[in-house]
Structure 1
Amino acid sequence: MYKAVIVDDERWIVEGIKAGVRWETCGFQVVGEAENGQEGLELIEKLQPDFVLTDIKMPLVNGLELIKRGKEISPHTIFAVLSGHAEFAYAQKALNYGTFGYCLKPFEIEEIESMLAKLSLSLKHRSGPEPEQDAQELYEILCSGNEQLLAEKLKAAGMPASAVMPVTPIVVQGYVHVLHRDIHHIRFRMNKRRVGFLLYSHLVDSFLSSLDLSGGAVEYSIGIGPSSASSAGLEASLEAASVAAYGSFSTGKGGVYRPIATLETTRDELLSELAGALAQKDRMRFVFVMESCRPLFHRSALTIKDAYMIYNTVMYLFTRGGVKANARFLEGYDQLYYDYGHSDAMIDYLVKHTLNHLSDELSSRLAGVTHNRIKEILTYIHHHFNQEISIQSLSDKFYLSPTYLSQLFKKEVGENFVEYLSRQRIQYACKLLAETDMTISQIGEKCGFNDYFYFTRIFKRLNGMTPTQYRESR
């Protein structure tokens, strides 16, 4: 949409033009109005409009002076005049100042709309940069933090930020093939697959609907930053839009995302839990914490920024613990996004990458098993024994009949499924009793026992003492 300003000291005329003319159909939006020439000049300087429709006879500054001084303030602005028959000579003089045209009062709505249609064509084909032209220099200035130079560049590009006309940054993850040219904006490429835009906040919805995102198999993800009333806030707003554009990494779905404030306490608690699990080589605790991250990512409570910190923190703690094999660090969000694509894939990788080094028990157990499907089942139990597991659920998951699975399990493992699962849970309970201050009830629940008395009975059967006696003996 092209920006338009109306200047006339007769209020009823301004309201009639605003209400009667189909501005948006003609490709325009009225962004300001003034009742005298002085206010009109202030609006032109502030809004840098594409078009000004002005009366001739006005207090303080008349229409001719407005056009003359307005062109000095905003060279790209096009002017047209409204005049009565008595001021026709003035209207002709205005044409000599380079105005686009004039409408005589009393005017017809169709007359103004016809002028706007011609003006729209003229604006589209006039020389100079197209609205969507890449503005890499402006982008570099924006990232540099030079607020004064950025303000100058925005003004030169016809998009100064103000409280009246705040600017919104948008980042598109993926390539935008076609972009309609009737909405004023600034475009710049952030990298091979990310494009950034700046536009006035009131045009965001129209702009999004104008994007051609028919990219075939490409999954688009669009981030919208907070509105900024000054150049000083645009850098932080663009960074917020950039992180939001990775929304598909968290949720697994393309779409339009706005910044969501992540609770630092939540992230810090997760990192602390992961550090504790790795320090104690606690496989079950590590898996539990990683699995608890999934729903947080899925509902956007954690972002790619949090994923980046989690990934590199785990790798750092992992290598610090003495394990050197296959540990690598990520250099930025892009690498994380293109290596894994989705938070679930990153979590799966971290779980798989670290588990063999947190415990050798599984490896030794699998060494004595010959049936591949039972190996898969043992691995699954090893990773999920604190969850609800039964012969029936395993038979459904691994496509074996419950009877055959029970017989095969006993043959390969040497004990039945219930005994094996109980022993896995009690082993972990022993670890928690010795290394934590959790209550007996909390430990039972964490190990997969929902019944306190059943937990203590199984514990005593396998260890010859109650959980309390075991903790005291330690």
Structure 2
Amino acid sequence: MSKNICKFSEFISLNRLTVSNFVHETNKNVYSKESVLAQNRAILISTGRGEIYFSGKVCPYTSGNLIFGFKGETMKCVSQADSEYMYLDFDGLRCEELFHRLNINHYSRCFQNFESVVPLWFESLARAKKETIDLVSESMLLYALSKIISKPDKNNCILEQIFELTDKSFTDSKLSIEYISKKLSYNSKYLSHLFKNKVGMGYNEYLRNMRIKFAISLFDSGLDSIKNVAALSGYNDALYFSSVFKKVVGMTPTQYLNKKDC
């Protein structure tokens, strides 16, 4: 004879959670355009790999990742392989409670090992009817959230400090993981490993991408001196800056400026 299973929730919330969209996105022309998130967004990567930029900050992704974007951020997806993803847009007073409980924030937004959720979301979306889509959408969001293991993680605090120092000093040519390790009194190899494990790319690559993105914004704002833009972006050597720029953008600064003027 089987036993009853009865589990009571410790978290009783009267705050409303609303899910407005449940979408399976396959159109590269749509997800490659930058847009402003009107609500919070839970993004489940079904296939592919690449990077999502949230308000200019990169978040690498691969299939099976669950990623959160936050209301008011800009979002743009750069696919390195054919990508498809599903997403749920949600809002309401309960969002902050859930984000706090599960330690979901700007520095901890990407979660791995959600491959098993992909077919469930896909089937639920395909079978949902107009009369029940709200129930299906909310249940899929809460199910995904329930699989996030929340526990205090001092590594997230360290990572937050790294991001803050980088945001403040990325235009300083002296900035490096070694510089940050001295500031925070940690071993540089430990911080380098931690960053790559958590973010999905090495710190040098992250810093390079941030500097080049800033350089592009300077060119787009009207500056046309490669030497000055290099210096303002954290590069003392304009020739080295040009080689890095070409590696990231696919063209030299001169070619970029000429193309922009056409």
Measured against the shorter chain, the TM-score band is 0.3 to 0.5
TM-score (norm 1): 0.23
Richer in helix (by share): 1
Give the structure, 1 or 2, with the largest relative contact order (CA under 8 Å, sep 6 or more): 2
The structure with the larger Rg is 1
Task: Kindly indicate which of the two structures has a greater share of residues assigned to strand.
Answer: 2
